[in-house]
A and B are shown apart, each in its own frame.
Chain A
């Protein structure tokens, strides 16, 4: 038996049989991941498989369940409600994520620059919305947006600009962007801020010696230095915005005709499952949504990996 190299850093060739030492480590590794995996499989894999199974059937109130192969999927990709909801989420993604991350970056940089009075309080204030459950957040904003009596309206009235309807067809999108941004800017900001704090002093010293001002330093030194952090917030924000559910669902109570049953893909799947009682179609919608999310995420990841390699 050939002895495997002692250093763990060298990756053993695939087909080489492992030493007892290595085996011990493998067992340890499996033991460590088994608890997680067991729950993972039970709570994720099994329901997912079952969901996939369900999506291959159609059910009717009269007639019950019948095997239908890919019928649901065909219907889903030609369903105008579903397609428009996915499109709307794509738009949401293109609008909300850049705004939110730009704000988060700006705030992080501003706090990091040490030029702001009352830094700790401001940091906490920006972060607090993350700790607020979406039920409460929607409650608060639902009130603030109130057409006749919400404070925002009253403010506009006081300065003579009439009552803006922030929950109308034209404005609901922006209002939703606002709520979600409000909830999550602090979270992203903290991540970026923590990343900024680890930038080595030498880099910043060098910039200062070169005569770079605060803005220039931020743009040319700090931002590139935390690029991986930024990229990751982008990916997870993408995933999150395609899965938007809580906020539109709760906003539906406040603006029931403006937020329709198919405002976001997840909301549509939920309504199809629970209101239309069509669990099978809902399962296929959810699967397609998952695939869309995966594609978008991998595309973003691939292009940024390529960009990093070319750096």
Chain B
């Protein structure tokens, strides 16, 4: 299951508006300076820690502790840090990136497929047990992860699958929130009428789903995918328990692992702050880029997905 528990998802909801007309023209072109200033301060607050992260990535460990956090050190070490990050521990970091892409990619694509199919079914078909099963799925969002951690580990261990990528990917295929989102979106954006029309035309249910429904579900699918992507990319607890070998770690576990050498020292260990910080910067960039790039999809996906509370 995607780390829904820790990601604290909130569903997109808007009133079911009759004749949803988007406001095409800006209502008011007056710009409020006061409001702008407030919002810019807010933006600064949200970016504050990230700015520190970026600047710190240019410093060596020694400089980290002896220079002011929000300005650069005399020695600009960003390139050195990047090189060290990628070469430390035999290129572990590069492997971690590939692992994260694998887990997040496979997990979120898989979760999207499963959620889309299930959400569509719950929305557009009335079948025995449908409502009951859906309630159970919704209810499952409330289950604390710790209740599942050890039993899931023992299950996988029995199957000999711990310390393998499957141990991370399979649980992340379930996204109850994705099912919920998709159900709501499907209910709204796939009118019964076109389904009926297709049935009258003689199309089988499978074809209806693949050729008629999916087209309508586009933005919703992208939304579910993106949120599943964030959850699996940032997944920490599950891989932490399942994986032992550094070669399978995703970025989150790997970075925490390096960080732990600084807080849990014993003979031979030296703090690895510089590469933890540089690694953190590198790990944040892809997601931010993905969101930037796919902005218009998820915004419309959330917006036009009218949801009943």
Contacts and interface: CB of A to CB of B under 8 A. Distances in A.
A233 B262 CA distance: 37
A127 B283 contact: no
Given A115-B31, A141-B49, A191-B302, A293 B15 contact: no
B309 A140 contact: no
A68 interface: no
Contacts of A129: 46, 50
Contacts of B39: 107, 110-111, 116, 122
Contact of A40 (B15, B56, B137): B137
Interface in B240-287: 251-252, 255-256, 259-260, 263, 276-277, 280, 283-284, 287
Nearest to A236: B10
A29 B11 contact: no
Interface string A122-137: 1011111111111111
A218 to B, nearest CB: 12
B99 to A, nearest CB: 14
Nearest to B20: A198
B1 interface: yes
Interface residues of B, number: 121
A240 to B, nearest CB: 3
B144 interface: yes
B115 interface: yes
Interface string B194-217: 011001000001100100000000
B80 interface: no
Contacts of A149: 65, 69
A26, A33, A289: residue with the most chain B Cβ atoms closer than 10 Å = A33
20 contacts: A32-B118, A39-B114, A40-B174, A43-B170, A43-B173, A50-B151, A54-B150, A110-B38, A115-B28, A117-B31, A126-B43, A140-B53, A144-B52, A151-B70, A199-B14, A226-B15, A236-B10, A236-B141, A243-B144, A270-B149
Interface of A: 7-9, 11-12, 21, 24-33, 35-37, 39-40, 42-44, 46-48, 50-51, 54, 107, 110-111, 113-118, 121-122, 124-137, 139-141, 143-144, 149-151, 154, 182, 184-188, 190-191, 194-202, 204, 208, 214, 225-233, 236-237, 239-243, 245-246, 250, 253, 265-266, 269-270, 273, 279, 282-283, 285-287, 289-290, 293-294, 297, 304, 308
Interface of B: 1, 5-15, 17-24, 26-32, 35-36, 38-40, 42-43, 45-50, 52-53, 56, 65, 68-70, 113-115, 117-118, 120-122, 125-128, 130, 133, 137, 139-152, 154-155, 170-171, 173-174, 176-177, 179, 192, 195-196, 199, 205-206, 209, 230, 233-234, 236-237, 251-252, 255-256, 259-260, 263, 276-277, 280, 283-284, 287-288, 291-292, 299, 302-304, 306-309
